[in-house]
Chains A and B, each alone.
Chain A
Amino acid sequence: MNQKRKIRILVAKPGLDGHDRGARIIARTYRDAGFEVVYSGLHQTPEEVVQAAIQEDVDMIGLSSLAGAHMYLFPRVVELLHEKGADDIVVCGGGIFPEEDIPKLKKAGIKELFTPGTPLDKVVKWVEENVKPRG
């Protein structure tokens, strides 16, 4: 029999922000939804995030940022994925962002952004609808 492909997700915290409660809750939520979650910990450079995503062959990267550096860090991850020919990996972000940054980030290739107060089932549903495990 053929086992169904399992969605693999990297949850990463780029930059100098040390608050990972949100990222951990998201990781757990994904686990409970049946996804395999690689958690890479705090203080990652975009380069490290992308390298981990490639080695782990994930379908999606979930970036968490609460420290205000998202306008550099998030687009940089998308850029590096492109350089490595890994554009097929979906990038989304969670954390605290000013309203006006969200369209800019989406334009830079971050597929969706989740801000505080987002119900967890919405986050899971979004993955189920937008992330296809490699065919």
Chain B
Amino acid sequence: MDIAEKIISGDIRSVARLIRDIDDNVPGSREVLKDLYPSTGKAYVVGITGSPGVGKSTLVDQMVTHLRADGKTVGVLAVDPTSPFSGGAILGDRVRMQRHSMDEGVFIRSMATRGYFGGITQSTRSAIDVLDAMGKDCIIVETVGVGQDEIDIVQSADTTIIVLVPGMGDDVQALKAGILEIGNIFVINKADREGADRTVNDIRLMIEMDEKRYKDGWKPPILTAQAVFDKGIIEILDEIDKHRKHLESSAKIQSMRKYEKVRNDLSEMIKDKIIRDVFDEIINSGEFETTLQSIIKGETDPYTACDTIVSKKLKKGAA
């Protein structure tokens, strides 16, 4: 059996290793992904995002429990940040989910951002495909908890959940662009805390004022939860189901989503490849260093230098 066949048959070791190879950019992993692609597209992907400490991991843990009780198999990808100084990382989301580690129907993988922004990485996108091909019914992606602009998840997930907690700033925060615009479902976690009603109202106001954006017929529900006490989790799963039915209700929505997803996947992949193949080569070249020096000495400016380097590189690439 080759690696792709092993993965499709659900072999955990092969899955784990392939995700590692993808993360480490081992050339052979790309070939396996090509073989796996026809087996993808069956899993339902849920993205969970929100600031650090709002309870994303705990929420995921509880959702896994309920999904398993329904007999669904689950894959979890939990992303944590890479240290910009050492390149190392502490991946701690697993702490909250460790009770599922003996369950054969659950596969949990921690991933580091490795310098990517946007909350998830190119490797995460590929890892979703791997867990999809291995046959998981539902894949939950927990993004790195950063804050206001980590919106890449929306392109990879069927349903995106924004988790908030009471008391994280006034209603102006809710008006800002970014993360709050991408939610299909809002969850106010730690809802026993003071100010939960206020937060619900702030989000409701934001949604009501933006009616025209929900013209496809889905208006994001706002739910309250206390993930630690397993309160409100069933309701969240119900809303995910409703959102799924909504997406599947019209062929127009489906084909539009498919187009958006493929478009995003391909453009991100191209971007990633250009960065790896072209950008890294420029950065590691001797010419880059000498250019730096001449900018420091005042012989040229970075704008001119940039134009020179890029046009030279691109012409060479085309030839």
Contact = CB atoms under 8 A, between A and B. Distances in A.
Interface of A: 1-6, 8, 27-28, 30-41, 44-45, 47-48, 51-52, 54-57, 84-86, 133-134
Contacts of A36: 82, 88-89, 91, 112
Contacts, number: 95
Nearest to B281: A1
Given A2-B25, A34-B87, A56-B109, 12 more contacts: A6-B24, A6-B114, A27-B90, A31-B86, A36-B82, A36-B88, A36-B112, A37-B89, A37-B91, A45-B102, A48-B98, A51-B102
A3 B25 contact: yes
Interface of B: 12-13, 16-17, 19-20, 23-27, 82-83, 85-92, 94-96, 98, 101-102, 107-110, 112, 114, 276-277, 280-281, 284
Nearest to A3: B25
A98 B97 CA distance: 33
Contact of A85 (B13, B87, B88, B95): B13
A119 to B, nearest CB: 18
A44 B98 CA distance: 8
B88 A57 contact: no
19 contacts: A1-B276, A1-B284, A2-B27, A32-B86, A33-B86, A34-B86, A34-B87, A36-B112, A37-B90, A39-B90, A39-B92, A41-B94, A44-B98, A47-B102, A48-B98, A48-B102, A52-B94, A55-B108, A57-B19
Given A3-B25, A51-B101, A38 B20 contact: no
Contacts of B110: 38, 56
Contact of B277 (A1, A8, A54): A1
Contact of A6 (B87, B98, B276): B87
A64 B102 CA distance: 20
Contacts of A37: 88-91
B91 A39 contact: yes
B16 A54 contact: yes
Given A3-B24, A134-B17, A33 B101 contact: no
Considering the complex of A and B, which 3 residue pairs feature the smallest CB-CB distances, nearest first?
A41-B95, A31-B88, A57-B16
B91 A48 contact: no
A54 B110 CA distance: 12
A85 B96 CA distance: 27
Contacts of A40: 94-95, 98, 101
Given A28-B90, A85-B13, A57 B107 contact: no
Given A1-B277, A3-B24, A39-B94, A54 B12 contact: yes
B88 A39 contact: no
Contacts of A48: 98, 101-102
Contacts of A34: 86-88
Nearest to A47: B102
Contacts of A52: 94, 98, 101, 108
Contact of B101 (A1, A55, A133): A55
A3 B95 CA distance: 28
Contact of B12 (A27, A32, A55): A55
Contacts of B82: 36
Contacts of B19: 57
Nearest to B110: A38
Contacts of B13: 54, 84-86
Contacts of B90: 27-28, 31, 37, 39
A37 B92 CA distance: 8
Contacts of B96: 41
A57 B27 CA distance: 18
Given A48-B101, A55-B12, A39 B20 contact: no
A1 B85 CA distance: 21
Nearest to B91: A38
